[in-house]
Structure 1
């Protein structure tokens, strides 16, 4: 007589291993204490040898499930197939299938890029972009994905008006497919068939005054600003130091060593997610000391008068609008392009020192380390020269 659920529930651990048969080689093995568990086994003969096939643990594999597995094993035996060998082949196929899904290749690609030393910001952006594609492509074998399938997540992004994000998503998906080709998991990159299929984004550049005469006029306007003194101070520091606007707006007093004339921007606030030190010329130190008299009792250098939170980028851009500069002429971010252009045109400073001061990423890890160390002395001199040059431009006659 075979087993029943009632009999199975009544089985207790024993001091010696016991088998409880259900017929046709199927039995439940209860190991000797202290080992726990109750395991389904199927005894059978293949090729003249006695063999045993594991079918899972009770109660996670029920009696009905175990009998179904027995029936399937008997079917394989009737076809001259060893059930144990077939089970091994099925596991290998399952692992292989998982390793060749879009998700698996994407994860492998991200690991590879991470080992190459890409910036945290770059890695975060790639992960975010690929997460947009995973719901539609993730579980599909990458070698079977066609261009029309890739178009599905791209159209979803486009439908929200994010044309530039859709373009970058297509490019990132293409990188995953090229990695799949290189690792013999796909034969070609189907995204090449999507060229021209996406809506082209409108390219807009941050406006900046990069000619000396125009920039000099801007400086005179900034120094003549009659609005809030903290806004004037922030715009003046944007001219002297040309950081990213968010780096200055969110600056806290603890980041500044005014005695050593160094501003250390913490890694979480920089675009490249690494700490960036900037030398402070005396002109910038004076502005900061004056500002500290106003806000030194607060954590932020430039708090809003109403909320005590940092001023917004609209505050700086709004001030530029009130000074008469349109969005097509100048933005707060444009101070960086102005400084970069004029510093490079001067011919006095090495391009790498200028790039290091701008906190732009170098070609590789070695170059980035070299920027931080070897160019510091040159950057200190350049900061002083640039501050003096700004003062000279402000004093120029119109």
Structure 2
């Protein structure tokens, strides 16, 4: 007699496994502990076999019969239901093993040794933040251009167009790696060519006229925030390094006795020397009692083990009324480059060296970090003196150093 829900609910376990038959090979197996499992008994290839169909009451009598009927259809078509299930499980595991995230991390691990540490960290963070939450668990072979476009457009919509282009490029490299290793047929990112608007080159906001510079310097002078941020603001125009290099500056790289800051330029992975003016040294000596016991010259307000955030200086300038269209952290570099050349008359190659740009001699050889160091040391002091002069209200020739400031010859 076929089973009913009432019979199943009232069935009690025994000392041994009990079996309650339904029909067409379906039966309920009751363990001594009270667990109830649906089983389907069938023959295939002359052998008796069993297929588990789930646990009661999670799988109702109706659903168990539907699963039995599906298995019987497979048998009618010459398919072993047990082998069919095993094949599906293997295929599913294979898809998980070949998910976008798994392959992306494999690709990253393969090429990481050939990249700088910063680049490797940036690449994986871009994928973790922008791609993995939406595409990471999907089989890479199943992904198509529209799915990728949705992820990329999400980045574009938050205003990070350049990042969107870079993430798309990373995804393309992951797909090409999957093709090369036999886990995808093609790179669908190529179908998205032209889907994103081009990135327009932009110049960081900067003031390059002396009177504008003087106004910015006076605003900085009036900053009333923390000593750490105030010191960073005062030092930024004097050394005109890249903002990231300033906020990550480490005390171990400074020699205040010789007035030098020596570090590795992240962008080019090359050593660089920044001669420090007397004004710069004074700022650092004033700050040293506060942060000199730690690693960073300008530590984060939240943790001394981390550097100041990349937004700290910009946020301070905004609070002082200096708009982002007027000046950015990068703007101090443009300010120095323009005025050192056009107003103070220093040789362009001295300026380019101090900006840590790639400068080559007439024979095409790269200058080393000590090239023109004495001249650059004089230039940095003249620059600091000039900034003091225009900040105090001097203009024109009155702001120029009284000694021969030009190193153009």
Cα displacement (A) at 1:86: 1.6
What is the aligned counterpart of 2:77 among 76, 79, 88? 79
Partners of 1:338 and 1:317 in 2: CA distance: 29
| Partner in structure 2 of residue 290 of structure 1 | 286
Instruction: Give the 3-state SS of the residue equivalent to 2:286 in structure 1.
Output: helix
| Partner in structure 2 of residue 3 of structure 1 | 3
What is the aligned counterpart of 1:41 among 39, 42, 62? 39
- Structure 1 unmatched runs, 5+: 263-269, 273-277, 355-377
Change (3 A) 1:167 1:39: same
* Cα deviation code 1:333-381 (max 9, x no counterpart): 667996654586598xx97996xxxxxxxxxxxxxxxxxxxxxxx9xx9
Change (3 A) 1:238 1:157: closer
What is the aligned counterpart of 2:380 among 369, 390, 394? 390
Instruction: Pick which of 137-146 and 81-90 moved more.
Output: 137-146
Partners of 2:372 and 2:31 in 1: CA distance: 78
Change (3 A) 1:46 1:236: same
Matched, 1:128 2:136: no
Instruction: Pick which of 229-238 and 56-65 moved more.
Output: 229-238
Instruction: Give the 3-state SS of the residue equivalent to 1:23 in structure 2.
Output: coil
Partners of 1:319 and 1:338 in 2: CA distance: 30
| Partner in structure 2 of residue 187 of structure 1 | 185
Structure with greater proportional helix content: 1
- Structure 2 unmatched runs, 5+: 258-264, 268-272, 302-308, 338-350, 386-400
* Cα deviation code 1:173-232 (max 9, x no counterpart): 2123212212222222232233233211211143689xxxx99x89x9699858327687
Q: How do 1:56-95 and structure 2 match up within 5 A?
A: 56-95=54-93
Change (3 A) 1:388 1:98: same
Q: How do 1:109-124 and structure 2 match up within 5 A?
A: 109-114=104-109, 116-117=111-112, 119-124=120-125
| Partner in structure 2 of residue 372 of structure 1 | none
Q: CA RMSD in A?
A: 5.2
Q: How do 1:146-295 and structure 2 match up within 5 A?
A: 146-159=144-157, 161-206=159-204, 225=218, 227-228=221-222, 233-238=231-236, 244-245=242-243, 248=246, 283=278, 284-291=280-287
Partners of 2:298 and 2:50 in 1: CA distance: 74
Cα displacement (A) at 1:124: 1.0
- How many residues align structurally? 336
8 Å Cα contact 1:302/1:311 also seen in 2: no
* Cα deviation code 1:128-183 (max 9, x no counterpart): 23147x3xx66765445544554444445445554323322321221232122122
* Cα deviation code 1:66-118 (max 9, x no counterpart): 11111112222222222112221222233344455xxx123321243146445
TM-score calculated relative to the size of structure 2: 0.61
Q: How do 1:15-34 and structure 2 match up within 5 A?
A: 15-33=15-33
TM-score calculated relative to the size of structure 1: 0.62
Partners of 1:196 and 1:190 in 2: CA distance: 13
Partners of 1:50 and 1:352 in 2: CA distance: 82
Partners of 1:12 and 1:353 in 2: CA distance: 87
Instruction: Give the 3-state SS of the residue equivalent to 2:204 in structure 1.
Output: coil
Cα displacement (A) at 1:31: 3.2
Partners of 1:76 and 1:302 in 2: CA distance: 68
8 Å Cα contact 1:121/1:271 also seen in 2: no
8 Å Cα contact 2:178/2:184 also seen in 1: yes
Instruction: Give the 3-state SS of the residue equivalent to 2:131 in structure 1.
Output: helix
